[in-house]
Amino acid sequence: MKSLHYLFAALLLLVSLNASAAMEINTPGVRAVKAQMQMRHAQLMPYYTSGAVGLDMDGGIVLRDIESVPLAVRQKLQRLVVAENLDRDRLYAEVANANAHPEWQSAMRSAFAPRWISNAQHGWWIMSDHGWIQK
């Protein structure tokens, strides 16, 4: 019974390592998406910090508190959020395709979500099973 337990633990470790390696892809498509996201991040940063934008449990971003955003910039912020989520989807597709498994796109979303959340800075808002929490 003990050996079965160790075998199961080893299998879980192997699957985890392979998933991590599968996410560490550096193709031209992945680099292009990441560059777009990095440029947009500077524009989104004040809204993460203020709590107007938060991360959902799937690793996407959402307008959490649109009322805290001045009316004059709301449309611009909405476009930034849509663009960010589209690029995250493009990133998942690029990584899945680079692994020769386009059907992995939803698995890539699930694998990346904890990374987005763990990389969120202190004070940012994250959706949890119990509602919005501040990291």
Q: What is the pLDDT of the chain when averaged over all its residues?
A: 86
Task: Identify the residue with better confidence: 13 or 100.
Answer: 100
With a CB cutoff of 8 Å and minimum separation 6, the contacts of 95 are 22, 23, 25, 30, 104, 108
Categorize the per-residue pLDDT at 24 as very low, low, confident or very high, splitting at 50, 70 and 90. confident
Q: What are phi and psi of 121, to 5 degrees?
A: -80, 160
Q: What percent of the chain has pLDDT over 90?
A: 80
- 53: exposed, middle or buried (C-beta count within 10 Å: 0-12, 13-18, 19+)? buried
Categorize the per-residue pLDDT at 20 as very low, low, confident or very high, splitting at 50, 70 and 90. low
Put simply, whether the predicted model's pTM sits higher than 0.85 gets the answer no
pLDDT score of 84:
98
